[in-house]
Chains A and B, each alone.
Chain A
Amino acid sequence: MNQGQFFLFILAFFPLISWFAIRFFLEFPKFYNFCYCLFPILFFINLIESTKILSNGDYEIVISEAIRFISLAIYVDKISIIFLYLLALIWLVLAFYLHAYLRISIQKNKNDFKEFALLIISTINLLILSKNLFTILFFYICLIIECNFFSQKFLNFDESKLTKFFSFSLYIESFLVFLAMVLTFKINGQLEFIENIIVPQNYNEKLFGFIFLLFFFGLFLSILMPYYLFFKNIKFDSINILILFLLTYCFASGFVFLKIINYIFGLKGLALLAKKFGLILFEIIILINMAITAFMLNKNNDLRGSSYLLLVNQFSFYILTILFQLSNKFHFSFVSTIAFLLNFSMVYLCLANFELFFEKSPLKNHKSIFHLMPITSLIFFFSIFSIIGIAPTISMVDKYYLVKSLWVKKEVLALLIFALNILFLIYYFSKIIIIFCAKIDFNTPNNNVENIKNYAKLIDFNPNLIFTILTLAIISMMGIIFFSYLIKFLSFL
């Protein structure tokens, strides 16, 4: 094992080793908590150091090889590095946030919850470093099993019923990816991520179109299937949405999709597919999905009940965005991904703060919450403005370039979807802001106003709970300042 491989090994298995290690520290709570926050910092430092070494050569570790080109192997490429930084950031934020959140929360199995979040991060880390489709499928199935495990252990009965559907659709996804993998292997005889596996010279349009469909639905079927229609009264905790859906599903499937486009089809291959068949099928599916979720969101006034629908709605839009970005400028799809993950991490962490307040407070909805928790509310407003694209964040530039390229290409339907989405978001979020800022009198016989305010302050001024979200907001803002550097860094793709 040379130096590069050693660094790669550490990078790949550090989160998993951390997960094993902290389980041994359960008897020593202080040390346990200290290590839980220390490990992501160490990982971040290690990532910075490893990047310098790993970017100088092609390093890989083959864990096990079945036959040539079918192996369980890890490596680092430039796409992986971007996602590793993103994951390291989320891990860091989540570790500090969860430490404070669970200390205040009345949730049971607190340590299990923390460990589980770490296990999911370690699996995603290995997924990011996968060297071939086979390894990706392996870790993708591991994530599905973990999802199911998570829902059984931490969600209540109604929620776990929805996640059962979700796990089932994830299973169908994994099978579709499996079929796509078998077909790719049959055509090309290998599954490794080398430059453009299915080269356009051997182009069989219908077959490759079919493989693309398998991959597409193999990664996004769970979000495009409207099974949430049967679960109208589901109220997920935001922290669960963040871990179970945003991190485990959106992050992982978004990454895999970008990787597959880059290595399996190649940008040229995708462009040819888009030219031949167009993106009308995807546009219609996504438009229908967005319309249903928007309708349901509009009917639902409870933010906690609709936060899951918001994710479905906006993730659908994100899929359409990256499809257009991929067929225009590949590196802009990474900007969209970063913007999406940062925005929604901020939203769900803010919502988790509010939910933490509702746990022990007699107030159970967001009405007038701005007056009790102004800091969290302001960050929340900032993050929703960022989602719309009017806050000075990376999301704003992303949306600007998206509209520009759609306008130049005269993609009328896509522009219409974009406009409708923005209009809907403005309408929906303005409703929320009005609820947040409404003035009500807390001074009722059942409420002790001072206690409520103190408890709100305890959360709103908790450094871990606020600084973690602020860090994300600052990074998001820095994205606009250093946008040209970011584009330059991504332009290798």
Chain B
Amino acid sequence: MEIGSISNIYSLIFLPFFASLSCQIFPNKKFCFSVTIFCFLGIFALILKIFPDILIYEKISSDYDLSIVSLALEFSLDLMGIIFLSLMVFLEFLVIIFYKNDLENLLKSKHQANFYSVFLLKIFSLIALILSNNLFNLFFFIEIYSFAFFAIATISFNKKLLNITFQNFCLSTSASLLILICFFSIYLIFGELNFEKIADNLFLLPATNFWIMIDILILISVAFIFKFFPLWQYFEKIKSSSLVASFLIIDAFFIKTLLGIYLVMKFIYFFFGHNFLFTQYQFSAIMIFIGFALIIYSSIKLFREHHLKLICAFFSINNIGFMISAIAMQSIESMQALFFFLLNFALVNFFIFIYATYQKNLYKTSSMKSLYKILVNNPLIAVPLKFTVLFIAGLPFTFLFFGYFYIGLASFQIGINLMMILALVFSNFVHFRVAIRIVNASIINNKIPLKSNENIALSKINYYQIFVFWILILAIYINVFSAGAVNNLATRFALFLLSNSI
């Protein structure tokens, strides 16, 4: 492996760390924001530089082997990692720009420096988490990430939000304890903490000891659900107009969930492995059923829902359901579907959520009935939503369409997979219905004049937020127009996971 590629990986990890420190050293609000933006630009540049190497080698990792409990020297980046990393960093970048003005209005200068510093620390832990190739590193950075997440919550000074955050903190701590027990057990069994070495030793494990793996599987599943997917805790606050609440909910619903999905996939494919989960113990039926249940649940909820934030939350649950089923199906087509649902989750659902947040800030409601106020009167913001409607409807060439197409291909066979055709019917219907309702909302009410305060609200244009909408819609449409390349990447992604699984 080229030393340049490895040094890029280390630069990727430590760039936000040093940026975070510099925010503490120079607590000037303009400087902090600039440092954050430059840090993101640097990360994007590094990702772009590493990406071709990843496509060639599939994996870049450091070869240093100094000690078992090594903190600094065991990092690796593979194809799955770079896809998740790009998505998460891109979303974090958009979030910080979207909330820039609001945060500056909310926080004092000194607090701003603290905020940016903690935020960058979160980015640091996020990147390090994805690049970790060692269970010790993984645990260490999970804790830093959790700390940063809760530290941001403290700036809200909102009693109810802090209460929910405290509950979340308790869950997270217990989950951390479970993770620690699991990792310790793994170390005791294999005498290693490195992912690759554990994978090498897995086949040496006596068949009689496989019940230990089952225990670890159960514990780690519970821990990951509590740690990364406690979505139910945020449903109460999802319609809140509190700035910090919406900031944290975006983080919890999108970035934390993406991180959770990444770690789940990493453990499924590179720790437990295909052989253990799907050949020896046939977990695929359970997983398909869980995915199916999530899709049906979210579809039923979506049928009557008219609040965009909740719609987005149920869309996300729907996509997660499909991802779980796709993992269980274990075919190239299902993995391709997973890739497209991932993109849909990270880009389209994210767009709807921030759009809902924008509407909520303006008109104190994220109801679809009020959509016309923006759609009819502000074309600069209306156009991106109008373009997104096609993605919600799942028209051909959208992420959702390809997701459905590949999952359909994977499902048409005798067996439990056929169940997913039913899930497709439900999901397709509710997505199409929501799209039609958005179109109708802009037609039916467009003759109702706006109140004077609504007009004033609309005239205060936040260019940072508009920039985010347009960047996001641009990113979505670049993916559409380069559908060939995206499909190729989906195939590479699928082949990588299936061929490298233990």
**Chains A and B belong together in one complex:** yes
- State the CA gap A179–B435 with chains docked (Å): 20
In the complex, are the beta carbons of A152 and B443 less than 8 A apart?
Answer: yes
In the complex, are the beta carbons of B421 and A152 less than 8 A apart?
Answer: no
B396 at the interface (CB under 8 A from A): yes
Stretch of A140-148, A412-420, A427-435 that contacts chain B: A140-148
Q: How far is the CB of A225 from chain B (nearest CB, A)?
A: 16
In the complex, are the beta carbons of A175 and B428 less than 8 A apart?
Answer: yes
In the complex, are the beta carbons of A142 and B481 less than 8 A apart?
Answer: no
B475 at the interface (CB under 8 A from A): no
Residues in A neighbouring B486, C-beta threshold 8 A: 66
In the complex, are the beta carbons of A182 and B408 less than 8 A apart?
Answer: yes
- State the CA gap A419–B126 with chains docked (Å): 75
In the complex, are the beta carbons of A65 and B439 less than 8 A apart?
Answer: no
B-contacting residues, A164-186, CB 8 Å: 167, 171, 175, 178-179, 182-183, 185-186
Q: How far is the CB of A149 from chain B (nearest CB, A)?
A: 6
Q: In the complex, which of the residues B404, B405, B444, B483 contacts A65, with contact meaning CB atoms closer than 8 Å? A: B483
Mask, A135-157, CB within 8 Å of B = 1, is 10110011001001100110000
In the complex, are the beta carbons of B409 and A66 less than 8 A apart?
Answer: no
Residues in B neighbouring A185, C-beta threshold 8 A: 405, 409
In the complex, are the beta carbons of A64 and B480 less than 8 A apart?
Answer: yes
Mask, B309-339, CB within 8 Å of A = 1, is 0000000000000000000000000000000
Given contacts A66-B402, A175-B425, contact A142 B395 (CB under 8 A): yes
B169 at the interface (CB under 8 A from A): no
Residues in B neighbouring A134, C-beta threshold 8 A: 396
Given contacts A145-B436, A152-B440, contact A137 B487 (CB under 8 A): no
B429 at the interface (CB under 8 A from A): yes
In the complex, are the beta carbons of B443 and A186 less than 8 A apart?
Answer: no
Listed residue (B396, B429, B435) with the most chain A CB atoms within 10 angstroms of its CB: B396
Identify the closest chain B residue to A72 (Cβ): B397
Q: In the complex, which of the residues B409, B429, B444, B488 contacts A186, with contact meaning CB atoms closer than 8 Å? A: B409
B432 at the interface (CB under 8 A from A): yes
In the complex, are the beta carbons of B480 and A149 less than 8 A apart?
Answer: no
Residues in B neighbouring A148, C-beta threshold 8 A: 436, 439-440
In the complex, are the beta carbons of B397 and A66 less than 8 A apart?
Answer: yes
Q: In the complex, which of the residues B396, B421, B432, B439 contacts A138, with contact meaning CB atoms closer than 8 Å? A: B396
Q: How far is the CB of B428 from chain A (nearest CB, A)?
A: 6
B94 at the interface (CB under 8 A from A): no
- State the CA gap A145–B402 with chains docked (Å): 19
Residues in B neighbouring A179, C-beta threshold 8 A: 408, 421
Residues in A neighbouring B404, C-beta threshold 8 A: 178
A440 at the interface (CB under 8 A from B): no
- State the CA gap A138–B481 with chains docked (Å): 15
A-contacting residues, B394-426, CB 8 Å: 395-397, 402, 404-405, 408-409, 412, 421, 425
Residues in A neighbouring B405, C-beta threshold 8 A: 178, 182, 185
Given contacts A64-B483, A145-B436, A171-B429, contact A183 B412 (CB under 8 A): yes
Q: How far is the CB of A155 from chain B (nearest CB, A)?
A: 12
Identify the closest chain A residue to B484 (Cβ): A65
Residues in B neighbouring A70, C-beta threshold 8 A: 487
Given contacts A145-B436, A148-B436, A178-B404, contact A64 B395 (CB under 8 A): no
Identify the closest chain B residue to A137 (Cβ): B396
Identify the closest chain A residue to B406 (Cβ): A182
Q: In the complex, which of the residues B393, B428, B481 contacts A145, with contact meaning CB atoms closer than 8 Å? A: B393
Q: How many chain A residues have a CB neighbour from B under 8 Å?
A: 26
- State the CA gap A171–B425 with chains docked (Å): 11
In the complex, are the beta carbons of A171 and B432 less than 8 A apart?
Answer: yes
- State the CA gap A95–B188 with chains docked (Å): 81
Identify the closest chain A residue to B432 (Cβ): A171
Given contacts A182-B409, A183-B412, contact A145 B397 (CB under 8 A): no
Identify the closest chain B residue to A187 (Cβ): B412
Mask, B427-449, CB within 8 Å of A = 1, is 01100100110011001100000
A-contacting residues, B269-311, CB 8 Å: none
In the complex, are the beta carbons of A72 and B396 less than 8 A apart?
Answer: yes
A281 at the interface (CB under 8 A from B): no
Give the dominant DSSP class at B's interface: helix
A67 at the interface (CB under 8 A from B): yes
Listed residue (A64, A65, A66, A186) with the most chain B CB atoms within 10 angstroms of its CB: A66
- State the CA gap A338–B393 with chains docked (Å): 33
Residues in B neighbouring A145, C-beta threshold 8 A: 393, 435-436, 439
A-contacting residues, B432-486, CB 8 Å: 432, 435-436, 439-440, 443-444, 480-481, 483-484, 486
- State the CA gap A148–B443 with chains docked (Å): 11
Identify the closest chain A residue to B404 (Cβ): A178
Residues in A neighbouring B425, C-beta threshold 8 A: 175
Residues in A neighbouring B412, C-beta threshold 8 A: 182-183, 186
Residues in A neighbouring B439, C-beta threshold 8 A: 145, 148-149, 152
Identify the closest chain B residue to A174 (Cβ): B432
B-contacting residues, A407-449, CB 8 Å: none
Identify the closest chain A residue to B483 (Cβ): A66
Q: How far is the CB of A168 from chain B (nearest CB, A)?
A: 9
Identify the closest chain B residue to A152 (Cβ): B443
Identify the closest chain B residue to A140 (Cβ): B396
Q: How far is the CB of B228 from chain A (nearest CB, A)?
A: 31
Identify the closest chain A residue to B425 (Cβ): A175
Q: How far is the CB of A134 from chain B (nearest CB, A)?
A: 6
- State the CA gap A182–B402 with chains docked (Å): 11
B-contacting residues, A26-78, CB 8 Å: 64-67, 70, 72
Given contacts A72-B396, A141-B395, contact A66 B436 (CB under 8 A): no
- State the CA gap A468–B405 with chains docked (Å): 44
- State the CA gap A152–B445 with chains docked (Å): 11
- State the CA gap A183–B418 with chains docked (Å): 13
In the complex, are the beta carbons of A167 and B436 less than 8 A apart?
Answer: yes
In the complex, are the beta carbons of B397 and A138 less than 8 A apart?
Answer: yes
Mask, B101-120, CB within 8 Å of A = 1, is 00000000000000000000
In the complex, are the beta carbons of B395 and A67 less than 8 A apart?
Answer: no
Residues in A neighbouring B435, C-beta threshold 8 A: 145
Q: How far is the CB of A180 from chain B (nearest CB, A)?
A: 10
- State the CA gap A335–B463 with chains docked (Å): 59
Residues in A neighbouring B487, C-beta threshold 8 A: 66-67, 70
Mask, A115-150, CB within 8 Å of B = 1, is 000000000000000000011011001100100110
Q: How far is the CB of B494 from chain A (nearest CB, A)?
A: 12
In the complex, are the beta carbons of A141 and B393 less than 8 A apart?
Answer: yes
What are 30 A-B contacts with C-beta separation under 8 Å?
A64-B484, A66-B397, A66-B486, A67-B484, A67-B487, A67-B491, A138-B397, A141-B393, A141-B395, A145-B393, A145-B435, A145-B436, A148-B436, A149-B439, A149-B443, A152-B440, A152-B443, A153-B443, A171-B429, A171-B432, A175-B428, A178-B408, A182-B405, A182-B408, A182-B409, A182-B412, A183-B412, A185-B405, A185-B409, A186-B412
Pairs of residues from A and B, 5 with the lowest C-beta to C-beta distance, nearest first: A182-B408, A138-B396, A66-B483, A67-B487, A66-B487
18 further interface pairs, Cβ-Cβ under 8 Å (given A64-B481, A145-B439, A182-B405): A64-B480, A64-B483, A64-B484, A66-B397, A67-B488, A67-B491, A72-B396, A72-B397, A141-B396, A145-B436, A148-B439, A149-B439, A149-B443, A152-B443, A171-B432, A175-B429, A178-B408, A185-B405
